[in-house]
Amino acid sequence: MTRLKRFFLSYGHLLVLWAGFFLGIRRLQHFLVSDIPLGYDPGVYKAIFMQYEHFLQNFDPANIASRVRREPLIWILAALLHKLYISYDWMITRWIGIISILPGFILFFIFKTQSTKIQDGARVGSIAAFLYRISITQYQLFRRGYMKQTLAISIMLLIIFFITKKKIRTSAILFFFLILLHKHTWLYAWAVLLWDIILEWTQTKHLPKKKIIFWWMAWVLALLCYIPLWNRIIPDSVQLTKSTFLGDGYGGTFISRMDFLRLQGLWIILSICWVARATILKKKITIRTIGYIIGMIWVSFGLINYNRTLVFFDIFVIYRVAYFLVEIVRTEKRIGIPLIIISIGINCTLYLFHIAFYNQNILISEDEFTAINKIADTTEPNAIIMNTHKNYSPRIMGRGQRDYINPWMADIDIRPQKTRNNWRLGDGAAKCSMIKQVFEVYNRPIYIRIGERQPIENFSGATCVKAVSQWKTWGMYKFIY
């Protein structure tokens, strides 16, 4: 065996791990030249961070039901970090980039430390971490700024790891925090844990009492924290259950199933091969196989939020493909080495082209971003800022420092939903009539901001609109009554 070959057999997995790390840094290039958060959610995060900080500073138990509307963990953590002089702007930009690396390191840690029949768990872990870094699905999670879901995936991976290590109490504690962090992830994890209990019961003929007790305690204690939200949770849960069992679940804002198949179809094929092979040979289904099967069923049948479920399914696909590639190289070198080079080469190419396009495809320009940051300097303290396109909702929420009227979001708009839906169809006179209802109730200055990346608004005949500032294709207008 040549010295070079021995070197690659001994240290090749570390080279793969570092290659994945540097490919991951490539996605952060946007933040080197711009302070604009990628995606839609970061602006919403900042707005809610500030709301929770104000709520905690002026804590009143009587206001909990009206103020606490979402999973509490991330908002409380953000408020505490802010006390340590970490800015909210930093959290919704650089922090999202840092958190996006976390699941890859956890995958490496899991495979490195767990016992496996494959000789070197570090090799599997390195491949898994690398596949995570070049996963277009996981990149989309980062680009859209889904910080909660990325953290929740990390916790779910650790829950599964501690279950395989039979550390049930640790997994229950993590499950408790997961419920307080992200409802979609804990619902998915709950399905995995439930089927793990059922399968262990059928295989051993004994109920896993320890799992049932600790996971049930975690679930109950976490739900007690949601008591102020039960008037909203119960109707939503009923609707969720109906949607799930009727198979007409809402897809969620993410890449489509067809895009997922088109971009990562090779991985799916390889993962199916490994799951079929491992299940037939071992004649036993592991908890990771359960997670894989649940993801495939969820996505295939279009259950609730199925497009966002692609993120979970993709993680379990990475699990399976990492095993498959290392095992086939170990047992079938003539087939395995070309297969691993071709499959990783194809996905690296797709990944690099994908981020080269999407890193330039931001939702808002530097000029508009700067102008939105100056809204508080050019409007009255009691002003209400209205916008009519979702691209600008999170920006105005997080940076306008004013009350807002946003499309399809909870705010102070008193217009009926039907009236909101007819906004774009009306001319200027109709729009003035609609806004007059809000003006008469609140008797406050109302502005409307028109962005450059939205359909043109029809203001013909609008005698109530006065231009305050204009720049090229965007501007701010004030309603005068």
The angle that helices 136-143 and 333-358 make with each other, rounded to 10 degrees, is 20
At 57 the pLDDT is: 74
pLDDT of residue 50: 81
- pLDDT, residue 159, reads 96
Please report the pLDDT score of residue 250 as a whole number.
66
* Local confidence pLDDT in tens for the 481 residues of the chain: 456 455 555 555 566 666 666 666 666 766 777 778 877 788 888 888 887 777 777 766 666 655 556 778 888 888 888 888 888 888 888 888 888 888 988 998 888 887 555 456 778 888 888 899 889 899 889 888 899 999 999 999 999 999 999 999 999 999 999 999 998 899 999 999 999 999 989 888 888 999 999 999 999 998 888 877 776 666 666 666 666 555 555 677 888 899 898 888 888 998 998 888 877 777 778 899 999 999 999 999 888 888 999 999 999 999 899 888 888 877 777 777 777 778 888 888 888 788 777 666 566 778 888 888 888 888 999 999 988 887 788 888 888 888 888 876 656 777 777 777 778 778 888 888 888 877 788 888 989 888 887 877 888 888 888 888 777 677 888 888 7
Asked if residue 142 lies in contact with residue 97, where contact means CB atoms within 8 angstroms, the answer is: yes
> Would you state the pLDDT for residue 80?
82
Q: What is the pLDDT of residue 438?
A: 78
Looking at residue 154, what is its pLDDT?
A: 95
Residue 175: predicted pLDDT: 95
Structure tokens given for 436: 């007059």
User: Sign of torsion, CA 266 24 47 80?
Assistant: positive
Q: What is the pLDDT of residue 13?
A: 59
For the beta sheet containing 384-387, the strands, ordered from the edge strand earlier in sequence to the opposite edge, are: 403-405, 384-387, 446-450, 474-479, 465-471
The rounded distance, in Å, linking the Cα atoms of 173 and 157 is 14
pTM to 2 decimals? 0.85
Q: How far apart are CA 331 and CA 372, in angstroms?
A: 59
Amino acid at the residue 146: Y
Asked whether the beta carbons of 111 and 121 are under 8 A apart, the reply is yes
Q: Is 379 helix (H, G, I), strand (E, B) or coil?
A: coil
How far is it, in rounded angstroms, from Cα 118 to Cα 322? 11
Distance of CA 452 to the CA centre of its chain: 27
Roughly how many angstroms between the first and final C-alpha of the chain, as a whole number? 86
pLDDT at 236: 65
> 12, 326 in Cβ contact below 8 A?
no
Which residue from 158, 170, 25 is spatially nearest to 100, judged by alpha carbons? Answer: 25
Provide the pLDDT for residue 11.
57
- What pLDDT was estimated at residue 460? 83
Reading phi first (left if > 0) and then psi (alpha if -120 to 50, else beta), residue 36 is in: beta
Q: Write out the H or E segment, with its range, that includes residue 469.
A: strand 465-471
